[in-house]
Structures are given as C-alpha cells and as structure tokens.
Amino acid sequence: MSDCITEIFASNVFSRTVMQERLPKKVYAELVDVMDNGGNISMATADIVATAMKDWAVEKGATHYAHWFQPLTGITAEKHDSFLTPPQDSRTLLQFTGKQLIMGEPDASSFPSGGLRATHYARGYTAWDMTSPAFVKEMSCGTVLCIPTIFVSYTGDALDKKTPLLRSMEAINTQALRILRLFGNTQAKKVTPSVGAEQEYFLVDREKYLKRRDLIYTGRTLFGAPAPKGQEMDDQYFGVIRPRVGEFMADLNRELWKLGIPATTQHNEAAPAQHELAPIYTTCNLAVDQNQLTMETMKRVATRHGLVCLLHEKPFVGVNGSGKHNNWSISTDQGENLLAPGDTPNENLQFLLVLACIMKAVDDHADLLRCSASCVGNESRLGAQEAPPAIISIFLGDQLDDVVAQIVSNSESIKLLASGKLDSGVSTIPVLDKDGTDRNRTSPFAFTGNKFEFRMVGSSDSIAEANVALNAIVAEAFCQAADILEGAEDFHGACSRLIHDWMSQHQRIIFNDDGYSDEWVAEAVRRGLPNLPSMVDAIPALTTPKAEELYSKFGIYTKTELEARAEIMYETYVKMIKIEANTMIHMASKHYIPTAIAYTTRLGQSITAVASGCPQADLTVQRKLLIQVSSYLADASAALDQLKPLMDRVDAIQDIKEMAHAYHDAVVPAMAALRHPVDELELLVDKDLWPVPTYGDLLFEV
Ligand code: ADP
Ligand code: MG
C-alpha cells in the first residue's frame, strides 16, 4: 500500500465518498438525508446499503461484521459474526442484510447495567448510529466490518455511552438554534459540538512490563521507589523522539489514518516515557468514537513494537500522570463557531451571551462536570500537583477576564457604539483579539481562543460523559436565556442586562491564577465552589434533583438511568480498588517479602563469614543494613497482616455506596501503608535480587 497520507487516509472507512460511488443515487440521497437530519431509512434501502457495505468490506479482506458499541465498561465491545450463509451443496454465499445492519441483539447480559436489566430480561439491543461511519478493522483474528451502534435495553434505557451523547447533541442543537435566531440568524439549520481530544500515554518495554503483575492486572505500578532521575530536567518534554518510539508513532499514524482518524500532533510529554497524540477536531460523537479507536489502536500497535502502551492516569508515582484535554466548541452548519469572538459588535454581543451562558452552566453544574471526569485511575491524578485540581473553575485569560470585569462592574448594561466597539458604559470594550488568549496549564476548564479545553478527563476514560455533561449544561443555559429573551421588546437591552446579570452572579467560577496552590483551595471554599476530591464524593452529583431536572428536561437521562450509572460507578470503584489491593497482597507475599528475607539471610551469612574470617573487620555497615532491612520487612509484613482482614470486613458491607466509601477511607490508606516499607526496601536491597523491573528500568529504557 502507498505511503502517501492522502491515499491511505480513510481507506478503511465506508465514507460518504465510498457510498456515493457504490450506492444508487436515490439510495445515497435518502441515506445522507437521514444522517444529516435524523429519521429512519426503509428496509429496502437498508438491504441495498448492507450489501454495498459487505461487498466493499470483503474487498478489503473482511470475513466478519460486528456491531461496535460502548457499554458502561468505558471501553468498546464487539461480537464478530461471519458473512456466511448456511452452506448448500458444499457452497456458501456471503450475505449481510439490512436487518443485520440496522439492529442486533447481542447476548450482552454480562455488561454492567446498574440494575437496568434484571437478568431474566437481559436482552440488550444494538442499533446503527448512522452519524458515525462504518469501518473495517484489521485484527489478529481477521478483518472485521464494524458498524458503530448504540446499545439500549428492551425498554429503551441507555446501556451505553453513545445514546446519551447523541441525545445531548440534539439538546444543544435545538437550544443553540434558538439563540442564533435571536440574533437574526435564519440561515443556520444545525449546531453541532466539535471535539478534539489530546491523548496522553506512556510506552514501556513489553518484556519488562510482563515481569510486573501490578502493570498487568491494574495498568499502573502499585509499588516502586522513585528513580534517581525523574522529570526535573524538563529534558523529555518536546524532546527528540527516540527511534523505537518514533517507529511506533509512524506505524500508529498509518493505522489511524486508514481509519479516517486525522492524527496530527505527536510529541514527548513531561514525564520520561510519556507522549501525546492529538487529532484534528471533529463532530462530537465521531470524536468520541475515534478516541476509543485511537486508544485501542495504540495498544495494538505498541505490541507489534515490543512495547506496551499504558493509558492509566497515574502509572508511576512521582512523575506526571496522563489526561485527556477535551477541546470543545460549538458551530453551525454554515461554519460559524459560537465560541469565536466576532469581528463585529453584534457578533460580539452574541459571543458575550454565549460566554455568560457557559459561565452560568459551569457554575451551576460544577459538580456534574467533576463527576463526568471521574474514573478510578484519575483518583491519583486530579488534585495532585501536576493535574488540574478537583475544583472546577474557568480560566478566561487576561483580555476576556477584563471584559467580564468591566461588564460586571457596570450597573448600566452594555451599549453598542457606532464605532464598532462594545461600550460597557465604563470604558470601551475592543473588538476582541482572537489570538489574545494566554495560557494557564493549571486550569481545569480554560478558554483557548475559540474553544474551551476541559482538562480533567482521564487518559484511559471515554470522553463521552464529559461531553454529555458539557452539551447538556450549556443547552440548559441557552434554553433559559432564550426563554427570557425571546419575548423581549428591546432585545439588545434585555440581552445586555442578562449578560450583566449572569456574569455578575457567576463570576465566582472564574479563576485565572495558579490552580495547584493551597490558597486556591481555601479561596474556593470562600467562594462556595464545590471541592470533590474523590470520585466517591463526586458520584452523588449524578442523582441530585438539579441533575435529574437537567437531564430529564432534555431527554438525555431518565432518573432510572442516572441511578443506574451512579451505581455502576460505585461498583467500578470497589472492583478496581479491590483488584489493586489483591495485586499488592500477591506481590508483597510472593515477591517482595521473600526477596527481603533472602537478602537478610545473605547479609546474615556475610556477617558470620566475615566475622569468622577476619575477627577485626568492621561490620557496622552490614549490621546497620541488616537492621534496616529487617525493620522494613517487619513493617511490610505487619501492613500485609492488616490489609487482608480489613478487606474481608469491608467486603461484608451490604450497601455499595457505603462499601465504596470504606474502600476509599480504609483500604486505600492501608495499601499506602504496605507500599511504603516495600519502596524503602527497594532502595536497600541488592539490585540483582530485586524481583521486578524498577522505575528506572521502566521509564528510561524504552
Ligand atoms: P493547543 O495547543 O492550544 O492545546 P491545538 O491547536 O494544538 O491547541 O489543538 C488542540 C486540540 O484542539 C486539537 O485536537 C485540535 O484539533 C482541537 N481544536 C482546535 N480548534 C478546535 C475547535 N474550534 N473546537 C474543538 N477542538 C478544537
Ligand atoms: Mg491543549
């Protein structure tokens, strides 16, 4: 195959271009209409599309098809079925029907449903999401035609991440159009959120990875003393990419491009062995699908290069963790970005209204946003010194901050001046300089010129929930603004007043300084902003009356769906911490304690041997080492003795929420108590004896 990007790009995607080439004109037109405007296609059309899809996929080497969906596990799921029809007279035909394309019924009773499906009624249905194109995936088990689908229960409850996402996109579309109409825009037919997700990851050597049970079972190191060198020299960030990593990146890009994923930026990140990939942004739901495919492809390609891609948020203590910057904007089908400051005062008034709405949305629902970025791996990242704090605030940059301050300080409303400036009454607001935004890396939600960058999302997590929350809360604020302004006699006056009022009421959500500082935590308390340090603190945000009202108003989640999701989050937390604790118990009992015993034995033997061989020899060093090692060994053993019965007690708790809190409050500290002496031992014990690769081996030898 050619290496030319333009030739390989989207070569594995059943794109509109392919459809246009392969489908009868009428069928293509019907399909595109439904893709763009919603609705259903007829079964006859579905049959024609399915056959064309199958023929195309078979030419690409596909033998199977799969409905590709995103259950509440956070990753994707697929079950492969071949195109074979029942053989007749030793011959078989390949077939793919419209019915098979449109709907599936996987035996999916083992996916988490939070009680939405009683097991006796465990059916789940997948249905084609026509807004995300089908693609073929080349895997070790063969080439498979993948159909992106939603996944719902028999009663229509969402069992996946895509269904609510599509619902939230509809909500923001409807409400944003109302705002645009207020400003006289009758052209725009559709408003769509766009997303570009910057993905951070670590690469480690596969041989070394396989020697560590913690990496294998949990994706992160549960033990490990810091290497003599960390990231203090800043020599990794944007540094020269090492050849092995470079080959991985080149291979990865090719795979992603074939899938139509416009991977564009690659660089070394702050921590040793850490890297980042950013695609060019695209429609929200496609960006979510593509990010899932990116993560999956990264893992697959890494294996080919003798590497392992770690997507965990905090694989190594003491160096930066990994996140995902969710760049989000909203634009019309005419290409107008609602988050871009305009060139004219009228456009700027619209921009300021949109900004006021976003300030209101983020302030009203800071807890929901925080919750949307909660996953177990993010526990050790959020709020630490290198990641956004767990407190939600907005960074606007000096220029916009000043504009907001002027609007707020002015009791009069903003006036439009003939000179092409916005007059706040106090001083003149210039037409905003689009490149005037500065950078603040510590903010969880930063305005970066024509988009907001939500930086809290974890590197391993789906970006679906974050975007559901963003779309929903902004849709609600748009709706409230439109309700007020649609009937206004003096639109400009009313709009200016609303901007002034909302910016004043919600200015507390703006914070432009160092989000990592302790002062900010104290300041946030004074401002009354929620600080939800842990996922277990954030989960209740999903089921507050405020959240239920928001999500049910726009038909995004029902109360039952929200309760189910909260339950799954508690369950996931418990399960993952339990696996981590069990892995620690295993490693401590089978690797570290025996190693420490072997080392003390060796030291003891050495002391005896030296003493008998040379009675005058000074044995202080050996004795001191023996005492230190024995002491940490005793500490490790004591911590292990605490952890096991503690877990038994916690596991006996009936209520899942209570159990999650017990894991958080008791088990996690007990795990830290076990880690500490083992990490100290690592610094003392002979390197030859140490049973697993160290941080130095993992981070600096890729
Ligand atoms: P930065 O370096 O400021 O973080 P980049 O230009 O490198 O920004 O973009 C980061 C990510 O944001 C990329 O995935 C990019 O495609 C995406 N992005 C750029 N503009 C927009 C936009 N208007 N809406 C959504 N995402 C965007
Ligand atoms: Mg960025």
- 622: amino acid identity, one letter: Q
Task: Say if residue 612 is exposed, middle or buried (CB neighbours under 10 Å; 0-12, 13-18, 19+).
Answer: exposed
Ligand showing the shortest atom-to-Cα distance for residue 331 = 1
User: With a 6 A CB cut-off, is 448 part of the ligand 1 pocket?
Assistant: yes
Cα–Cα distance measured from residue 238 to residue 488, given in angstroms and rounded to the nearest whole number: 52
245 contacts 129 by C-beta, under 8 angstroms:
no
Cα–Cα distance measured from residue 503 to residue 271, given in angstroms and rounded to the nearest whole number: 38
Of 580, 465, 702, 562, nearest to 114 (Cα)? 562
Nearest atom in ligand 1 to the alpha carbon of residue 450 is: 23
Cα–Cα distance measured from residue 296 to residue 163, given in angstroms and rounded to the nearest whole number: 21
Q: What is the mean pLDDT of residues 24-45?
A: 92
Neighbour count for residue 689 (Cβ, 10 Å):
12
Q: To test the ligand 1 pocket, which listed residue (199, 237, 281) has its Cβ within 8 A of the most ligand atoms?
A: 281
| 496 pLDDT above the threshold of 50 | yes
CA distances from 685 to 519, 596, 603 (A): 41, 7, 10
| 9 pLDDT above the threshold of 70 | yes
User: With a 6 A CB cut-off, is 677 part of the ligand 1 pocket?
Assistant: no
- In this structure, which residue's CA is closest to atom 2 in ligand 1? 448
CA distances from 627 to 393, 445, 593, 637 (A): 50, 51, 15, 15
Q: To test the ligand 1 pocket, which listed residue (327, 447, 453) has its Cβ within 8 A of the most ligand atoms?
A: 327
Confidence band, pLDDT 50/70/90 cuts, at residue 428: very low
Q: What pLDDT, in 10s, does the model give residues 159-202?
A: 999 999 999 999 999 999 999 999 999 999 999 999 999 999 99
Q: What is the pTM of this model?
A: 0.94
pLDDT the model gives residue 526:
95
CATH numbers and ranges of domains, the chain: 5-160 (3.10.20.70), 168-557 (3.30.590.10), 572-700 (1.20.120.1560)
Strand 394-395 relative to strand 103-104: parallel, antiparallel, unpaired? unpaired
Cα–Cα distance measured from residue 164 to residue 656, given in angstroms and rounded to the nearest whole number: 24
49 contacts 40 by C-beta, under 8 angstroms:
no
Q: What pLDDT, in 10s, does the model give residues 437-477?
A: 566 778 999 999 899 999 999 999 999 999 999 999 999 99
Q: What is the DSSP secondary structure assignment for residue 94, as one 8-state letter?
A: B
Neighbour count for residue 641 (Cβ, 10 Å):
11
**Ordered alpha helix ranges (H), 266-394:** 284-304, 345-364, 366-372
Buried b (16+ CB within 10 A) or exposed e, 38-75: eeebeeebbbbbbbbbbebbbeeebbbbbbbbbbbebe
Percent of the chain surpassing pLDDT 70: 93
Q: In this structure, what is the dihedral angle of CA atoms 32, 36, 39, 40, given to the nearest 10 degrees?
A: 30
| 277 pLDDT above the threshold of 90 | yes
- Packing angle of the helix pair 620-651, 668-684 (nearest 10 deg): 160
ipTM, two decimals? 0.96
User: With a 6 A CB cut-off, is 194 part of the ligand 1 pocket?
Assistant: yes
Q: Which protein residues have their CB within 5 A of the ion that is ligand 2?
A: 325
User: With a 6 A CB cut-off, is 106 part of the ligand 1 pocket?
Assistant: no
- 302: amino acid identity, one letter: A
Confidence band, pLDDT 50/70/90 cuts, at residue 409: confident
